[in-house]
Each structure stands twice: as C-alpha cells, then as structure tokens.
Amino acid sequence: DIVMLQEVGLTKMESMDYCQGPDGSFSPEIFGQKLAINYPAFAELLDCYSIVNCSPRLEVRRGGAPRPKDNGVILVSKELLKRFHVNALTRGADERDIRLKELYTLNAGKPIVGVRLVDSGGAAVLDVFGAHFEKAKTLQNLRSLLDIAGVSLGRG
C-alpha cells in the first residue's frame, strides 16, 4: 500500500524537523518519530506505514524556508518495504536539483513530493508523485515535473 496525503497541516513541526538527516537532508525516520510525538493520532498509522518522503510548502520569496502548515506526505506500508527499497525523487526543504527548485518557485512553493520504488536488483519499479499545483499552471507544471522524471505526457 502507498498512501499519499496532500495539504497536511503539521504546525507543531518546526523548520529544522525537515533537515535532520545527513548533510541537512530530510530523514524519514527522524521525521516520523517527531511526528508521532507531536501528533499521537499518527502513531497508530505509523505502526503499519513508514513515512518515506515529505515536502512542506516553501517560502520561495523568503529563502525557501519550509512552512509546516501545508505538506505533501508519502507513506508506504511496512510490508511493502520488506520487498522494495524507496528512494526520494524530491527533497522539499533540501532540494538540490536545480530544475525542481525552479518548479517549486513556479508553483509558488506548494508541495511536490516524489519517491521511486526499487526492487532487490536495483531496478526501478514505480515512481510516485504527489503535487499541489497552482491551478492556472497545472498542465505546465505537470509537464515540467514529468520532464524532470524522464516521462512524456504526450500531446495535449
């Protein structure tokens, strides 16, 4: 099972909670622990699912600081994680891909979150994205995101 949540308000989380991994990157494990402490209602969900990526809204006009009141979150069942590895395709508060940084700016900082499921041999099985696109720019931003992911939307 894969669960994608959009517009998740996590106002008890702090900006630094998104940057607790190596080199200031996002750590799903640490974020999940802090989420369970700050929001006990999530604890039951986190017994069966693991957070694999989270993207907060970014203050693109103020240096890109994360705003925890609007998040895109991807969770994967712990059973599925026994068979597949998950790689983050987006890094929200610590995005290093210049194309994704530009897309966040075009999207007014709204969350874009993505992961790739990989099998035991290292082959990509599935890419999953959740995006809260600006309504007037949905098609343009979707095309940009798919281009970054190496997928064509086709004509339209």
Tell me: the pLDDT tens digits for 72-87? 999 999 999 999 999 9
Give the chain's radius of gyration (CA, Å): 15
**Contact of 16 with 86, CB cutoff 8 Å:** no
Number of residues that make up the chain = 156
Q: Is 142 helix (H, G, I), strand (E, B) or coil?
A: helix
- E strand or H helix at 29: helix 28-38
Question: Tens digits of per-residue pLDDT, 43-71?
Answer: 899 999 999 999 999 888 777 778 888 99
Res 152 pLDDT > 80: no
Average of per-residue pLDDT values in the chain: 88
Torsion on CA atoms 152, 60, 66, 46, rounded to nearest 10: -20
Which of the residue ranges 3-12, 78-87, 99-108 would you say has the lowest mean pLDDT?
99-108
Report the pLDDT value the prediction gives residue 154, as an integer from 0 to 100.
61
Q: What confidence score (pLDDT) does residue 121 get?
A: 94
97 alpha-carbon distance from chain centroid: 14
Spatial contact of 17 and 31, defined as CB atoms under 8 Å apart = yes
Distances (CA, A) of 32 to 21, 46, 140, 144, 147: 12, 8, 33, 30, 30
- Determine the pLDDT at residue 94: 79
State the pairing for strand pair 124-131/112-118: antiparallel
Identify the weakest region by mean pLDDT among 29-33, 38-42, 59-63, 108-112. Answer: 59-63
